[in-house]
Amino acid sequence: MASNDNSRGKLLTAGGVLSIIAGAFEIISGGIVVALIMSPGIRRWLLPLPPMPLMPGDWYEYVIPVVPAPFISVGIAFIVWGVGAIIGGISAVNRKSFGLSLVGAICALPSIIMGILAIIFVSLGKREFGAVRG
């Protein structure tokens, strides 16, 4: 039986590590999305618009400041999910709280394969949270 408990502990650690890695990727990708959309040069490249004869200069600087808002919202959501995944992964590795670890694994779900594996591994290691560590 000792080897079974040891393998469950390894699964829980693997789930926590996967959650931490997925969270780091989410924070990096969300930061890149927010940084690219916030840059005016990138906005001009993403939304190439022809000049209008009746409007002076760069008219799209006045008309299109709202278009990047959904992209910024997605980037911020990825950053928040990444922070949640990292906190849950740390909780899983330290075996502190099963609920927090599972929430962290669910927050890792946008990185599909790592998120699914993190959920499976944390769920299989549920018994480790009740075990007293010496």
Residue 91: pLDDT band by 50, 70, 90 thresholds? very high
Residue of 70, 72, 102, 86 whose CA lies nearest to 26: 86
Give pLDDT, residue 36: 78
- Asked whether the beta carbons of 33 and 39 are under 8 A apart, the reply is no
Give pLDDT, residue 128: 85
pLDDT at residue 1 above 50?
no
Residue of 4, 15, 10 whose CA lies nearest to 100: 15
Give tens-digit pLDDT for 13-58: 999 999 999 999 999 999 988 887 777 666 666 655 555 555 555 5
Q: For residue 68, what is the DSSP state? A: T
Per-residue pLDDT averaged across 61-69, rounded?
A: 59
Give pLDDT, residue 134: 47
Q: For residue 127, what is the DSSP state? A: G
Torsion of CA 108, 114, 116, 120, to 10 degrees: -100
pLDDT at residue 64 above 70?
no
Residue 70: pLDDT band by 50, 70, 90 thresholds? confident
Give tens-digit pLDDT for 102-133: 999 999 999 999 999 999 999 999 888 876 45
